[in-house]
Amino acid sequence: MTDTGPVYLDYAATTPLGPEVLEAMRPWLEGLAGNPASAHAVGRHAAAAVAQARARVAGALGASADEIVWTSGATEADNLAIKGAARHQHARGRGDHLVTLATEHRAVLASCEALEHEGFTVTRVPPESDGSVSAGAVAAAMTARTVLVSVSAVNNETGVTPDLAAIAERVKGHGALLHVDAAQALGRVPLDVSGLPADLVSLSAHKCYGPQGVGALYVRRRPRVRLMPLLHGGGQEGGLRPGTVPVAQVVGMGAAVARCVRNAARDGRHLEALRGRLLAGLAEIGGVILNGRRDGSPHIVNVSFPGVHGAALAGLLDGLAVSAGSACEAAVPAPSHVLRAMGRPDALAHASLRLSLGGPTTAGEVDRAVAVIGAAVGHLRGFSPVWQRLAAGETIQSVYGTRTPLVSI
């Protein structure tokens, strides 16, 4: 970003294509990308590139290449994992109950809802007020009929990271399958299926400097996890996801994932430093509520501004590309289901911003964002009766009529 252009702090929504990713894709976009299923030399050349990309994605997870299924993104991977596994388990008479978190991405929640229409039952575990969910709460939601538990590695709105190892232990002890939506995790928090007994893991390329429209589902082979496919066609991806594999897209995803792995330590330090700067800047505005935890993924900060009207705030943030709630739901004016589940009153949930940082983010951009937000919040509070009550010493809980503990930063 230039000094005068918009400050982009929406890396959890999507990331720019990495320069080395574009270079890796270029030959497959400019020249002939053969069909990797074709037996001739052009096809075999494409198949070799796809195999290399598959090995790179597998390597990033500690998986083997034959455990990676290409999809169009994490939405499709979530659908395939949840519906595919639940339907297969049910057909084998193993049960009809699923457990997920009330704070999951819509791709997970809507997949579960679709299964409810088929007769499955779903328990959505509510979070604590800081967005966390304990392994004990997940375990308590499981029944003898539970076939699948779906939990994301990093919440896309709050950055909260559940204790996946503890959850996995409880799920495996129960004999159910574990699906992890890791769309926000790649390159930000470590995830290794050689140590973590997850059965299914959803990934998306465009969240980690790869192209949009491609993702992958890890499907454990040892012990083998079986899925009913959602699509039927030419038998590609072992029949789990038929359709011609898009060579340029998957090569781009392979390059992006390899870059994430290579730079994980450096990127992690960069994001931690920027998050610290952002939180310190927001704290100076005063009366800002943190929606999440300080030990969450370093790329996401979600905050609410008491005494501020949400729509008015959004209107004053020209020059900032940030998200109010989840970008995937930007067309829906309802307050975020995640913040609601965390007990935020609707008025406060509306007056919330998710700021998400990336590799290209600079300290200067963070400072400019804080200045724009601080000016907007100060202006709106200037004529806010709610802010007057808070300034006069009333508590946020009494002003907003909630018992939820709300932590200022």
Ligand X SMILES: Cc1ncc(COP(=O)(O)O)c(C=O)c1O
Separation CA 187–CA 263 (nearest Å): 8
Query: DSSP H helical segments within 92-229, as ranges?
Result: 106-117, 135-141, 164-174
Specify the pairing of strand 320-321 against strand 215-219.
unpaired
Which of the following is catalytic: 112, 208, 260, 328? 328
Q: Mark whether 112 is an active-site residue.
A: no
Separation CA 403–CA 75 (nearest Å): 35
Q: Residue 199 carries which DSSP code?
A: S
CB-facing half-sphere around the CA of 47: CA atoms within 13 A: 12
Sole binder of ligand X in the list 89, 204, 323, 356 (CB under 6 A): 204
Binding segment toward ligand X, per CB under 6 A, in 68-76, 124-132, 241-249, 300-308: 68-76
Length of the chain: 409
Nearer to ligand X, 327 or 370 (CB): 327
Q: Which amino acid is at 290?
A: L
Q: Is 9 in the site for ligand X (CB under 6 A)?
A: no
Nearer to ligand X, 11 or 387 (CB): 11
Q: Residue 139 Cβ, how far from ligand X at the closest point, in Å? A: 22
Per-residue contact string for residues 213-252; x = within reach of ligand X by CB under 6 A = --x-------------------------------------
Q: Is 181 in the site for ligand X (CB under 6 A)?
A: yes
Taking CA atoms, 332 is separated from 11, 26, 313, 328, in Å, by: 20, 36, 17, 9
Q: How many CB atoms lie within 10 A of CB 14?
A: 16
Nearer to ligand X, 184 or 304 (CB): 184
Q: Is 74 in the site for ligand X (CB under 6 A)?
A: yes
Sole binder of ligand X in the list 79, 123, 156, 384 (CB under 6 A): 156
Q: Which residues from 344-403 bind ligand X, rule CB under 6 A?
A: none
Q: Is 152 in the site for ligand X (CB under 6 A)?
A: yes
Among 317, 303, 310, CA closest to 350: 310
Q: Which residues bind ligand X (CB under 6 A)?
A: 73-75, 78, 105, 107, 152, 156, 181, 183-184, 204, 215, 328
